Structure 1
Amino acid sequence: MPTSTALAPGEHTAEINGGNVVYEILGEKGDFIALTPGGRFSKDIPGLRPLAEALAAGGYRVLLWDRPNCGKSDVQFYGQSESHMRAETLAKLITSLGIGPCIIAGGSGGARDSMLTTMLYPELVRKLVVWNIVGGVYGSFVLGGHYVVPSILAVRGLGIDGLVKVPEWRERIEQNSANEERLRALDPDEFLKVMLRWLNAYVPKPGQTIPGVVDEMFDNITVPTLIIRGGENDWDHPKRTSFEVHCLIKGSTLIDPPWPEDAWERAGEKMAQSGGKDFCLFDTWVQAAPAILDFLDKP
């Protein structure tokens, strides 16, 4: 599939819903694990690959992918929420590669994407593993303010010319030149409608433990599920949210984090002190490999 970005060795593309999705597979044999990071970070974000390599060394094949609006993949804007769009994309990627049903795993925003994929496409999932689950007023509002509001302000002020100047979208253009044309082709009014819908998903509501997903959807998760709970004082991924998700997914297994209770806070401080240059938010994730492998290896 043609793409306007330079692919690294081992990378491939698949066209999903009119956009190119960049992916790669680690490992030579074994069951597949679709592994998803958080935020709008790419599959190459520091900390993710060591976990993927550890899982591959444990006898699995690991699918790493750049979600729409992440890394080298094309930008796309549709769906009830950005996570709904990602879930649909992952389901179609798994289907196109013929690797389902497989194991779905992810942390932070990737945990929400993974849970939603399992809810909407249960036939594609064998087991589910999630950690750093976002929830609560603070965590939800931060996401909406960080990932949606800047684009709304840019378009309302300067139209699409303003949108392509938003630093996050400039990065997407730098990694994939086709994204500038895709962004400039957007209708401002339609784009704002999507952004307002995506923003609304992050507004905390009764009966929505995770942003933009009604609690009754958790009834669709019937596969064996491992939940690594949030840290004791982690405002972004509250401990309480992990327990609530554990209650909502019947038969799920909840374990304490294998990293220090304050790992997320200390990583955030380190990143802030370095001006964002020392990215280490996901560096501890590899420590979960033994617990994940133990869970996956059980019948």
Structure 2
Amino acid sequence: MPNKKIEINGGNVVYEILGKEGPFIALTPGGRFSKDIPGLKPLARKLVAGGYRVLLWDRPNCGRSDVQFYGQSESHMRAETLAQLITRLEIGPCIIAGGSGGARDSMITTMLYPELVTKLVVWNIVGGVYGSFVLGGHYIVPSILAVRGMGIKGLLHVPEWKERIAENPVNHDRIQALDADEFLKVMLRWLNAFVSKPGQTIPGVPDEMFDNITVPTLIIRGGENDWDHPKRTSLEVNCLIKGSELIDPPWPEDAWERAGEKFAASGGKKFCLFDTWVQAAPAILDFLDRP
């Protein structure tokens, strides 16, 4: 199925569906990467070969979708978007799966819209002081500095937003139309989500929200020395989601570190961060195929 788009909360969301029959899986990558990031579709195709249909989507501020700025955090905004996407496409309740930032988006969607989810699969869960601090500095601070220095037009010089405009020219006017003061309020709220706080195992989410996750859940543990997706965070999430299953990563313990080295050596041009994800397909299918 080719790319399609649907308007949700005033912005177009680009999506595609792989597979012709079987239960639906909404699959979400990490960061602000698009559904076309290398490494994601090989996993999706393995899941399709296992008898499922897979929804891939460009979240707001990712790929070819429109930029949008609202909500308690960026992940809360994505969760609201995914819930509406599942509802509008009439594919729910369905399985929700994701890694890294996509794991957080998937967990928040399940917490806020439990009626839309049948099973949950997450891996590379971000947490800890370092992992949260890095995300806030990488995704939020550059935009705040740009607007404080140059007004809204400063966003047009931020590399990430330049990429969004290149992939979707409509985003140029959407950015220009933003109110600087309101934008900064949203950015400070989103930044605050990444400030590590007692009682928040994952950024911006009170631990008691995990009580809302009652569906069968598979957690693939973070690597032994992965600072971005700490092993400790996976273990804590396993404790917080009652009855969840925790398994060791099917890729090498240092897979994320080695991928990060290759990514850095390429100047950020070789997207190898998610290449190992396809190795999780057998474990995911085994979990999903159980009654």
Matches within 5 A, 1:62-81: 62-81=54-73
Amino acid at match of 2:113: Y
SS in 2 for 1:34: strand
Match of 1:185 in 2: 177
Aligned partner of 2:95: which letter? I
**SS of match in other structure, 1:162:** helix
- Per the TM alignment, residue 249 of structure 1 is displaced from its structure 2 partner at its CA by 0.1
Paired position in structure 2 for 1:196: 188
After TM superposition, give the deviation of residue 203 of structure 1 in Å: 0.1
The alpha-carbon deviation at position 276 of structure 1 amounts to: 1.4
In the TM superposition, what is the alpha-carbon distance from 1:252 to its structure 2 partner? 0.2
Q: Distance in 2 between the 1:277 and 1:69 partners?
A: 19
Q: How do 1:140-219 residues align onto structure 2 when only pairs under 5 Å count? A: 140-219=132-211
Superposition deviation, residue 273 in structure 1 = 1.2
Match of 2:33 in 1: 41
Residues in 2 aligned to 1:191 and 1:25: alpha-carbon distance in whole angstroms: 33
Greater Cα offset, 198-207 or 268-277 = 268-277
CA distance in 1 between partners of 2:256 and 2:13 (Å): 29
Matched to 1:182, the amino acid is R
Q: CA deviation at 1:254?
A: 0.2
What secondary structure is seen at the aligned counterpart in 1 of 2:239? helix
Listed as ranges, the matches of 1:1-299 within 5 Å are 10-299=2-291
Q: Return the TM-score normalized by structure 1.
A: 0.97
Q: Which amino acid aligns with 2:174?
A: R
In the TM superposition, structure 1's runs of 4+ consecutive aligned residues that sit over 3 Å from their partners are none
**CA-CA distance at 1:160 after TM superposition:** 1.0
Q: Deviations over 1:126-146 (max 9, x none)?
A: 000000000000000000000
Partner SS for 1:92? helix
SS at match of 1:164: helix
Runs (5+) with no aligned partner, structure 2: none
Please tell me the root mean square deviation across aligned C-alpha atoms, in Å.
0.5
C-alpha separation in 2, matches of 1:286 and 1:71:
21
Range with bigger deviation, 24-33 or 160-169: 160-169
The sequence identity of aligned pairs, in percent, is 85
Q: Which runs of 5+ in 1 are unaligned?
A: 1-8
Q: Which amino acid aligns with 1:228?
A: I
**What is the CA-CA distance between 1:271 and the residue it aligns to?**
1.1
CA distance in 2, matches of 1:82, 1:209: 17
Indicate the SS of the match to 2:157.
coil
Write the deviation string for residues 19-45 of structure 1: whole angstroms up to 9, x where unpaired: 000000000000000000000000000
State the secondary structure of the residue aligned to 1:259: coil
Residues of 2 paired with 1:33 and 1:221: CA distance?
17
- 2:235 corresponds to which letter in structure 1? F
TM value normalised by structure 2: 0.99
**In the alignment, which residue of structure 2 is the partner of 1:4?**
none
Distance in 2, matches of 1:128 and 1:76, equals 26
- What is the aligned partner in structure 2 of residue 6 from structure 1? none
| Amino acid aligned to 1:202 | F
Q: In structure 2, the residue corresponding to 1:33 is in which secondary structure?
A: strand
Deviations 1:50-90 (A, max 9, x none): 00000001000000000000000000000000000000000
Task: Write the deviation string for residues 138-186 of structure 1: whole angstroms up to 9, x where unpaired.
Answer: 0000000000000000000000111111010000000001000000000
Letter in 2 for 1:70: C
Distance 1:245 1:252 in 2: 9
SS at match of 1:87: helix
CA apart distance, 1:275: 1.3
